[in-house]
Structure formats: structure tokens, C-alpha cells
Amino acid sequence: MAAPGRCGFFLEKKKRFCKMIVARGKVFCGEHAEEGSSRIPCPLDPKHTVSEDKLEQHLKKCNSREKAKPWDVDNSVLSHPILQEELNNPKNGDSAHKHLKQQSSLLGHLEALGLLGRGRCFVEFGAGRGKLSHWIHEALKTRDHVKTCKDLQLLLVERCSTRFKVDGKHQDTGVEFERLQVDIQHLDLSKVQLLTQKKLPLVGVGKHLCGAATDLALRCLLETPGLRKEVQPPRKRLKTPESSPGPDSGPGPVLGLAVALCCHHRCEWRHYVGQQFFLQKGLGAAEFSAFCRMSSWATCGPANRGPASRAGTNQGRDDEEHEPAEKTDAVSGFLSLEEREQLGRLCKRLIDGGRLHFLETNGFLSKLTCYVDREVTLENVLLTAVPSN
């Protein structure tokens, strides 16, 4: 006789009753509930059986079903019609054509997310010459059949002095177009007068935002200035009406973001937004540094033998000639080039996993997408996010 609270099904091979606990009022466990029905080994794991007439339902919830692989990145190469004429222009060389493809797909993703519209402020981090902001303005002006976009703001953030800027094209358009030459880590959006006047919702954008600049941009957008931890105690100063912000001061809410990632080997633990994500997995600064170094393997193969930048540590550049990654030959004896590149991509996705976690804990739905082909650029992953509500 079965023990109280245990399954009443007798196992002939083991010469005993099943020891599984049953629900209140039930005689058999879930495994042996249908005595009269035919049971078959589960196709996913033959160690347990399933009622044949409920096989389809079981496969959807079986614990042995194939789980989604960590850091899977969808492929979604989009485009925007505003750049089509320029893409077909034979005067553009190969390099210019690749930039246009990236800008076109970026605008396509902004459109698909519902972020490409008027009545908001686009903050372009690592703006370089400002081409991305230029195309955003052109797209909205053309789509809405207007000569000027007076309810549109464009804020370009670039810490380096940049030549051949496109800013001059927007001086007489009526659009509020401003450039700040500042390091992202020193930028406080609540102090930018352009943003605090109309308080338009913010959309963060960036094309190839190198290494730690991505984390700095995320902090700049999502962390409340008053809650930032000061590296050094702030100097005391007298509060005056001019220096004391009012209760409703500050920019508008963050509507979303779309940032093309790159140069994970230049990330820094002190700026990294995914520290909590790493610590929860038993990893720390030392492991993070190792993953950053190995991430360079993803882009150090034959496909990326072109000239490297000697421009220091720009946070974003239009020419995409980034600082060369550290070369590591210690593993060349037992890992093939393909294996090193695959491991490098996995390290990049692990680092990006911390960024996704940061965005989700701040109330955003975030995603990684391959937004252009690798033939266009090896740094072809786009980070997007919109509020979860």
C-alpha cells in the first residue's frame, strides 16, 4: 500500500509504489495520473514519460526543452528612404557607402521603435561630424513635408575638436541645433539650457560609441544627477537663486535610445553600468578586465587589417578607424583564428549583457540587434531600449 501523500502507482520493475508526492485529493502523481492512457518516453528526455495524447502540450513546457542561448543577437538590417538617393550616388566611395548603410539602418530602427519623430530632443553621443543628427533632421523634415522643424531639438556631444562638421547646414533651418564639446562623464543634462527650456522627451543615439563611452552615455541618460556618487566631496558654495534649480528644473523624460556599440576592449570597470550583473555571477573587476582584453579577438582577424586610429581616445568618430586592440598571441598555439573570434564575440555579448541588465533594472525593454552585415563593419551590433510601460 502506498505511503500517505504518495503516488498509488505500483512500479512493477522496482516492486514498490511510486514515491512522488501527490496533490491534495489525488491518488496518482502527474507522471502516473492517466492510468488508462498510453504513455511514451519524452522525445526530449527519455528518462521520463508523457501521456501520448498530451505530447504536444508537454513539449512546450518540458524542462528538457531547448532553452534560448544566452546573448543571442537577432539580425535585422533596416533602411530609411531618406538616404536612398545618397546610397545610389556613384560619387561616394566604399568607406562613405558603408557609413551611409549604417546611418540608414540606424534611422530604420529608430522608426521601427517609434522614436523617430518631432516633439523631442535627440542627444547624439560621440557625434563626430554630426552626420547622424543631420539625417535625423532630414528624415523628419521630408516625412512631414515641412521646411523647418521648430518642435525638434538636436544636441551633439563630442569631446574632441572636429573638422568638416555639418552644423552649418542647420543654422538657418529654424531647428534648435547645439553642439557641446565635453567629455560625456562630465556632462549633466539637467544643466543644459537647451533641454531645460522646453523639456522635450529625450532620445539617445550614437554611431560607434567606443568602449566606456557607451556606459557613460547610459549613466548620463538614466542616472539622476543628484544621486550620482561624487569621486571627491563637492566644494562648498553659496546658494543663490541663479544656482539653485527649481523643483521642476531638468530635461524631459528619456523616450528611448539606439546606440551602435564598439571597442569593448576599451571599457573600464569604474564606468561600467553592469557591475551588479557581474557581481551577481561571482565575477569582478579582474574578470571584467580579462573579458575586455579577449573581446578584441572578435575584430582582430584578417577582415579587420585596415589602418587603425592614432587619434587617442575619441568617444566616437565618423571614420570608424578606432584605436587598435591589444594583440594577444599567448593562445595562438591552441586556438584557431575562428575560435578566437568566436570567443571574442562571446566576451562582447557578456559585457553587453550587463548593459541590458542595467537598462532593465531602470525600467526599459532593451535588445541587441545586428543592424548591418559584418562586411559593412565588424562592429555591427546595435543596443536599443524603450520604456517597459
Section 108-115 average pLDDT = 96
- Rounded to an integer, the average pLDDT of 170-188 is 83
* C-alpha span between 221 and 363 (Å, rounded): 13
Query: Total domain count for the chain?
Result: 2
Question: 142 and 191, same structural domain?
Answer: yes
Q: Hunting for cell 539637467 — which residue is that?
A: 190
- Position 220 in a domain: yes
| Residues 361 and 270 both lie in one domain | yes
State whether 337 and 201 are in the same domain: yes
- Regarding whether 99 and 57 lie in a shared domain, the answer is no
Q: Judge whether 133 lies within some domain.
A: yes
Q: Is residue 263 part of a domain?
A: yes
Round to whole Å and give the CA distance between 221 and 297: 30
Q: With contact defined as beta carbons under 8 Å apart, do 187 and 89 qualify? A: no
> What is d(CA 308, CA 312) in angstroms, rounded to the nearest whole number?
11
Collapse the DSSP code of 262 into the 3-class scheme (helix H, G, I; strand E, B; otherwise coil) and give the result: strand
167 inside domain: yes
pLDDT tens-digit readout, 114-170: 999 999 999 999 998 889 999 999 999 887 766 666 789 999 999 887 776 777 776
In a domain? residue 38: yes
Question: Among 42-56, 147-161, 225-239, 293-307, which stretch is predicted with the lowest mean pLDDT?
Answer: 225-239
Q: 4 by DSSP, 3-state: which?
A: coil
Is 234 within the bounds of a domain? no
* Cα 375 → chain centroid: 21
Q: Which domain holds residue 164?
A: 74-225+252-387
Is the torsion defined by CA of 137, 142, 147, 148 positive or negative? Answer: negative
**Assign residue 126 a region: left if phi > 0, alpha if psi is -120 to 50, beta otherwise?**
left
Distance CA(108)–CA(371), nearest Å, equals: 9
CB atoms within 10 A of CB 190: 13
Q: How long is the chain?
A: 389
State the Cα–Cα distance between residues 34 and 17, nearest whole angstrom: 16
What type of residue sits at position 382? L
* In a shared domain, residues 136 and 52: no
Task: State how beta strands 74-75 and 364-370 pair.
Answer: parallel
C-alpha cell at 189: 543634462
CATH number at residue 257: 3.40.50.150
d(CA 183, CA 79): 31
How confident is the model over 218-264, as pLDDT tens digits?
999 998 553 333 333 334 433 433 434 444 567 889 999 999 999 99
Could you tell me the pLDDT band of residue 217, with boundaries at 50, 70 and 90? Answer: very high
C-beta separation of 3 from 16 below 8 A: no
Say what the pLDDT of residue 284 is. Answer: 94
Is residue 210 classed as helix, strand or coil in its secondary structure?
strand
Q: Is residue 67 part of a domain?
A: no
pLDDT value for 383: 97
* Selection from 157, 271, 254 nearest residue 211 by Cα: 271
| Domain shared by 202 and 147, yes or no | yes
Question: Is there a contact between 374 and 299 (Cβ–Cβ < 8 Å)?
Answer: no
pLDDT of residue 116: 95
Give yes or no for residue 211 having a pLDDT over 90.
yes
Burial class (CB in 10 A: 0-12, 13-18, 19+), 14: exposed
Whether residues 125 and 214 fall in one domain: yes
